Amino acid sequence: MLYFSKLRIVSVIVFTVIFSYFAFSNFIKFDDKFFSKNINLGLDLQGGSYLLLEIDNRPVITQKLQAKIIELKRYFKEKQITLKNFSLKEDTISFETTNNEIENVKNILNDKESDVNTYYPTYKSHEFDVLEDGNLFSLNYSRYGLVLLKNSSLDQAIEIVRRRVDEVGTNEPNILKRGNDRILVELPGLDDPNRIKSLLGKTANLTFQFISQNNEESFGTEKLSFEDGSRDAIVSKRIILSGDNLVDAKPTMNSQTNETVVSFSLDRVGAKKFGKATSTGVGKQLAIVLDGKIISAPSIREPIIGGSGQISGDFTFQSATDLALLLRSGALPAPLNIIEERTVGPDLGQDSIDAGILSLFIGFLLVILFMIYKYRAFGLIANLALVSNLFLLIGILTLFEATLTLPGIAGIILTVGMAVDANVLIFERIKEETKNEKNPIIAFDAGYTKSRTTILDANITTLIAAFILFFMGSGPVKGFSVTLGVGILTTLFSVYFIARLLTSLYVVKNKDKEQLL
């Protein structure tokens, strides 16, 4: 165990130097990206906001089911099959058919080539589960149908969230999917997430609808209240134009009224629709509706055919900017709820870094002094291994751009405390061996060999804990598991290569001395 070939010595040194270099690269600045890497600081250390959003898919499901009913009606009408008594209750579509059509309807719904109930060969499942009871049919989203629906609404939502966050222009936001109905938003450096929260909390469904003069519109009417809550209005359900047709929106100053307004421009299709509606509706009031609330309802004085317009409505410059931003980024497919929020101010983050470094330094010093007191020259060797262990650990974390959190710093300090364990095991074993063996080289060799399985067993158990923490933990705790796990690997390296190399050099040089350890 004590023999080292020249090649081995060189490779241990090279390896140590290279990885240790990256520990220092945190403090050196080069132009080259690879050579001046920085460890990532977690939000708890650099300050920032962490938001976990959950999509409320219920409105989407209801919408899709309503559309499905219309589709079914149309499809079976074409096939000249009569379906009646359609109803939608608790996410279940049900309808009845005549007795002699039961088989027919069943075949259509369960056909793998079905046009109205798509079959997904990869999941071996239809979009809807079909249940029949006599002539009564009921359709439910199947498990996979629901998963696909959720995934597609999550994909849309994450895109919109990204656009909105990007528009606010925070520093390197991190936006990730979590499961099939959650979005994680990390905003480093942001200590007041209120604006982002209010932007993400709005679906931003914009529609233009006429205020109804009589209650007998062919599309039906609905009662909506104004944004400021001052009054209600009866609005036609016919949607003239929606936010989808917008190509741009920005806050501007209306030079005549000296008011802040949001001016928008429409795409070709939108401009055409808007032009047509405003030419036939001169004199009517056009309600501008956002998420079910009327922002304003100006009267149309003349047809608007240029494909651009203005929304007025008691805006401050800030609220006009935000509305323009929401309109530009598009509507969310479903409302988002913030189910978890963690914000750390930048000065607390800095305090945590300072406290972490101070306690690392003190812990390190105490362990080093204790080892020298206990083992003298070999304590020095163990300490050299400990120092290089620390450099290797920080170097590897830097190289792989791992995220360092406050518990992660605790993990490093704990590694320092526990790293000497392996060397202690070896040294104590060597002491025992020396009692029966006069030749120090043989005694040292036996000490290393006999303690090896114990050291491996002991470290593998801790590694298991670190692995499980990594896969089960979240955020800061994950950071802890990373430093703990990497710390074990670097500990084994520093003990078996660095400390062993130094020990062998020392022992071979001093083999004639009495009682080395």
Partner 1 sequence: MNNISFNKFYRKFNILSLILIVISLVFLIFKGLNYGVDFKGGTLIELRTTDKTNNISLIRDSLNQMNLGDVSVKKFGNETDFIVKFEKQNSNDPEFIKNIKNKLSSSIGEIDFRRVENVGPKVSSELLKSGIIAISLSLAAMLLYIWIRFEWQFSLGAILAIFHDVIITLGLFSIFSLEINLSIVAAVLTIVGYSMNDTVVIFDRVRENLRKYSDIKIFDLTNISINETLSRTIITSVTTLLALLSIYLFGGEILKGFSLAMILGVIFGTYSSIYIANPILVALNVSQRTIVKEEEKN
Q: Within its chain, how far is the Cα of 477 from the centroid?
A: 16
By the rule CB under 8 A, 465 interacts with partner 1: yes
By the rule CB under 8 A, 459 interacts with partner 1: yes
For partner 1, which stretch binds (CB under 8 A), given 11-19, 217-225, 346-354, 508-516?
346-354
**Total of chain residues touching partner 1, rule CB under 8 A:** 71
By the rule CB under 8 A, 290 interacts with partner 1: no
For partner 1, which stretch binds (CB under 8 A), given 69-77, 167-175, 475-483, 491-499?
475-483
Rounded Cα gap, residues 198 and 152, in angstroms: 24
| Alpha-helical runs (H) found in 4-142 | 6-24, 43-46, 58-78, 102-110
Q: Are 325 and 199 in contact (CB under 8 A)?
A: yes
By the rule CB under 8 A, 167 interacts with partner 1: no
Out of 14, 358, 442, 508, point to the residue binding partner 1 (CB under 8 A): 358
Q: Which contiguous run of DSSP H or E holds residue 475?
A: helix 475-493
By the rule CB under 8 A, 347 interacts with partner 1: yes
By the rule CB under 8 A, 333 interacts with partner 1: no
Residue 79 Cβ vs partner 1, minimum distance, rounded to whole Å: 44
By the rule CB under 8 A, 464 interacts with partner 1: yes
By the rule CB under 8 A, 413 interacts with partner 1: yes
Q: At what angle do helices 6-24 and 377-399 cross, to 10 degrees?
A: 60
By the rule CB under 8 A, 197 interacts with partner 1: yes
For partner 1, which stretch binds (CB under 8 A), given 129-137, 218-226, 275-283, 368-376?
368-376
Which amino acid type is present at position 397? L
Q: Are 427 and 453 in contact (CB under 8 A)?
A: no
Using alpha carbons only, give the angle 115, 180, 40 rounded to the nearest 5 degrees.
145
Closest CA to 400 of 13, 34, 47, 45: 34
Out of 10, 18, 70, 362, point to the residue binding partner 1 (CB under 8 A): 362
Out of 390, 410, 443, 482, point to the residue binding partner 1 (CB under 8 A): 410
Q: Which residue number, 263 or 494, has a Cβ lying nearer to partner 1?
A: 494
- At residue 346, φ and ψ (nearest 5 deg) are -65, -35
Residue numbers 51-70 binding partner 1 by CB under 8 A: 52, 54
Out of 98, 299, 318, 337, point to the residue binding partner 1 (CB under 8 A): 337
| Core vs surface per residue 81-109: b (16+ CB within 10 A) or e | eebeeeeeeeeebbbbbeeebbeebeebb
By the rule CB under 8 A, 176 interacts with partner 1: no
By the rule CB under 8 A, 300 interacts with partner 1: no
By the rule CB under 8 A, 416 interacts with partner 1: yes
Rounded Cα gap, residues 121 and 145, in angstroms: 12
